Amino acid sequence: MPPLTLLATLAVPLATAAPAAERVPLHLTLFEAPQMVAPAGWPSMSASADLAASVDRAVVLGLQTAWFEAFPENEGLRTGLGMASVGAASFGLFLVNGWAHEEWHRAVMRHRDISSRNGIYHPEAWSSGTISVDHVLDEDLARLKAQHPAETVRLMSSGMEAEQAIVDRLADDLF
């Protein structure tokens, strides 16, 4: 049976006077069953990818709109400032995508009742120079490997799967 999904889509204009063809869709999975029903919880994989892609699009959209409004007649300046400011915003966008990356690891574990914490919320956990899922018991990982070896493999790759899902959502909206 396919999951039950409640999806909200908001079409935001690229600029104040943009025609409907230049509207950018922002998606957010509000509810997804059985993924968002205990023990899985929020966010599901879809919800975290939707949120990360929408934050990315909203930031870029906001910057593009601001430069379009500031310099409506100067496309070269608008483009240059737009690329520079989007580049400057990329660190913040990295954190949003990193959050989704870790939430996909957590979603695989939640499916098998394994408790964890997304390290992005806890800067003290970044001392190693990386952000990761933590507060996972070795016994739980050993049980996952023994009882569900395929899910152990997915656990290891699910973060990159999240990154690809975000890119796919953005590509679907933009191309």
**pLDDT tens readout for residues 133-173:** 888 999 999 999 999 999 999 999 999 999 999 888 888 87
Q: SS3 for 9? A: strand
Q: 89, exposed or middle or buried, with CB in 10 Å at 0-12, 13-18, 19+?
A: middle
pLDDT value of residue 130: 76
- Greater confidence (52 vs 32) lies with 52
DSSP secondary structure letter of residue 125: G
In this prediction, residue 31 has a pLDDT band, given cuts at 50, 70 and 90, of low
In this prediction, residue 21 has a pLDDT band, given cuts at 50, 70 and 90, of very low
Model confidence at 128: pLDDT above 50:
yes
Domain boundaries, the chain: 4-75+85-174
**pLDDT tens readout for residues 51-102:** 888 888 888 888 888 888 888 888 888 888 888 888 888 777 778 888 899 9
Measured in whole angstroms, the distance separating CA 125 from the mean position of its chain's CA atoms is 20
Q: Which of 113, 119, 107 is CA-nearest to residue 155?
A: 107
Phi, psi of 137 (to 5 degrees): -80, 140
pLDDT value of residue 5: 52
Q: What are the residues facing 24 on neighbouring strands?
A: 12
DSSP secondary structure letter of residue 43: S
Residue 147 neighbours by CB under 8 Å, 6+ apart: 112
Cβ atoms 162, 49 nearer than 8 A: yes
Find the mean pLDDT for residues 109-125: 85
pLDDT value of residue 4: 54
Q: SS3 for 1? A: coil
Question: Which of 3-17, 71-85, 95-109, 119-133: highest mean pLDDT?
Answer: 95-109
